[in-house]
Amino acid sequence: MLNPTNLKFSKKSKKKFRQEEEDGIVSMSSANEKASFQSFKGRDWHLEGAFDVFYNQPQIKTFTDSRYLERLYNRYKDPHVDMVLVDGITLLCNDLQVDPQDIVMLVVSWHMKAATMCEFSKQEFIGGLRALGIDSLEKFHERIPFMRSELKDEQKFREIYSFAFGWAKEKGQKSLALDTAIGMWQLLFAERRWPLVDHWCQFLQARHNKAISKDTWAQLLEFTRTVDPTLSNYDPEGAWPYLIDEFVEYINENGIV
């Protein structure tokens, strides 16, 4: 009996399989031929891996009904301002059965390219939902697991992390308030676990107590990705911001590692 895990295709088999794909898989999945073909090609023609990727990869429907999008927006927009504000977002979270503090709402804001925390302009709200193929609460609810899963993708996590700085800071400010930065780090690193996050936050409150610059925000992610939690490969001569260097000294002084 063939083991699908080890099954590979010759050129002739690939051609034959592509025809079968056009006749069977595409019609069965209602996806385009290119997406299914690429799912196999991208897995070096490993059948089981390709099926896993293809069927677990959400196929975003690009068609949305503008009338339904307008209705959704009008349900949540503020009665006095042409924007979705805190009350509207709270209502949206209730409709989606999602806690307003859930990190998935950060991912939603990232998709909407929202400029500021706790508010969506009409363009951001409708544009983001259209890009996600959402024009109803039912579709919105169905997309939540997909948006949550995006945090597990390394590149998307980096993009969401970078987005969070501008999204969370006060309007007109270049830096991020310390309390806000700490809250965002605890939220983000709960998803992409960094063992030193609590010590980092304690260090900032004890030694720094100032706003966080964009450079520090960006460099910390690189630090968590490249430096082992035991700090065994930390290079004191590296081009880390002074705040990270001080954090390493704090860790060593207190015998944390």
What pLDDT, on a 0 to 100 scale, did the predictor assign at position 131? 94
Q: Identify how many contiguous H helices and E strands the chain contains and give both numbers.
A: 14, 2
Read off the pLDDT of residues 106-163 as tens digits, 9 standing for 90 and up: 999 999 999 999 999 999 999 999 999 999 999 999 999 999 999 999 999 999 999 9
CATH topology for 155-254 is: Recoverin; domain 1 (1.10.238)
What pLDDT, on a 0 to 100 scale, did the predictor assign at position 234? 94
- Calculate mean pLDDT across residues 170-192: 95
What pLDDT, on a 0 to 100 scale, did the predictor assign at position 14? 36
pTM for this prediction: 0.75
Q: What is the mean pLDDT of the chain?
A: 82
Tell me the CA distances in angstroms from 136 to 2, 132, 143, 216, one per residue in order.
Answer: 44, 11, 11, 39
What pLDDT, on a 0 to 100 scale, did the predictor assign at position 34? 41
Query: Does residue 175 contact residue 213 with C-beta atoms inside 8 Å?
Result: yes
Sole residue written with tokens 């605890």: 186
pLDDT bucket at 16, cuts 50 / 70 / 90: very low
Phi and psi of 76, rounded to 5°? -105, -15
- Total residues found in the chain within this entry: 257
More confident residue, 205 or 27: 205
CA gap 141, 96 in Å, rounded: 6
Residue 255 has pLDDT above 50, yes or no: yes
Query: Does residue 29 contact residue 55 with C-beta atoms inside 8 Å?
Result: yes
CATH topology for 66-152 is: Recoverin; domain 1 (1.10.238)
Residue 11 has pLDDT above 50, yes or no: no
Residues of the chain with CATH 1.10.238.10: 66-152
pLDDT bucket at 65, cuts 50 / 70 / 90: confident
229 token code pair: 């939690």
Burial of 130 from C-beta contacts in 10 A (0-12 / 13-18 / 19+): middle
